[in-house]
Amino acid sequence: MKLLWTIIGILIVLWVLGLIFKIGAGLIHILLIIAVILIIVKLIKGMANR
């Protein structure tokens, strides 16, 4: 799970850089959406295990 959080952190940093410098905005936004979906799935699975 630590790897997942590392990937999410990197994606958020790249997204912010993309917003600031207008670099690869489309790809970065798609990757950020995927990261958010993964966070939501992880939270839902975590709640289901309790």
DSSP 13-39: HHHHHHHHH--SHHHHHHHHHHHHHHH
Q: Which residues contact 29 (CB under 8 A, 6 or more apart)?
A: 15, 18
Give the per-residue pLDDT at 25: 62
Residue 23 has what pLDDT? 66
pLDDT of residue 24: 65
Give the model's pLDDT for residue 35: 79
Tens digit of each residue's pLDDT (9 = 90 or more) over 4-49 = 778 878 877 877 777 777 766 677 677 778 878 888 888 888 877 7
Helix (H, G, I), strand (E, B) or coil at 24: coil
- State the amino acid at position 6 in one-letter form: T
Q: What angle do CA 45, 49, 50 make, to 5 degrees?
A: 125
pTM tops 0.85: no
